[in-house]
Structure 1
C-alpha cells in the first residue's frame, strides 16, 4: 500500500493481500500508520493532515475532517 505520504518512497504495507474488488480511488482504513497519523503529521510538502474516523459496529463517524489545501493557504497573509 502506497500513496501520498511524507516521502515518495514511503509505503504503509508491503505484500499486503487486499480484496479483489479494490479499485484506484477507493479509500482504505489503516488502523495504525505511525508517523502518518494526525499527531505528528507535517505540512512541509503541502499534504494536508489526515482525517480521524472512529468505527464501531461497522458504522464510521468523522471526528476530525481532512485538512484541505484551502485550509493550508488560509493561513498565508501574503506580502
Structure 2
C-alpha cells in the first residue's frame, strides 16, 4: 500500500474528527487574535502567546466534552 493510499484511507476514516480539529483551531486563533487586537491592546506579547498555548488544554477539553456528548446520545 503506497503512502498516498494510506493518507487517503486515514483521511476518509477520520474526516469528521479532522474537521472538528480544524474548526477548533481556526476559531481559537481567531478569538485570541481579535481579543488582543481590540481588547487587550496594551498587553505584553507573552500574554498573547500564553493565550495561544492555552488552546492546547482547551482543545483536549473540547475533545473530551465532544466524546461525552456522543456517548450520552447513544
TM range (shorter): under 0.3
Higher relative contact order (CA 8 A, sep 6+): 2
Greater helix content: 2
Which protein has the larger Cα radius of gyration, Structure 1 or Structure 2?
A: 2
TM-score, with structure 1 as normaliser: 0.24
TM-score between both structures, scaled by the size of structure 2: 0.24
Structure in which a larger fraction of residues adopt strand: 1
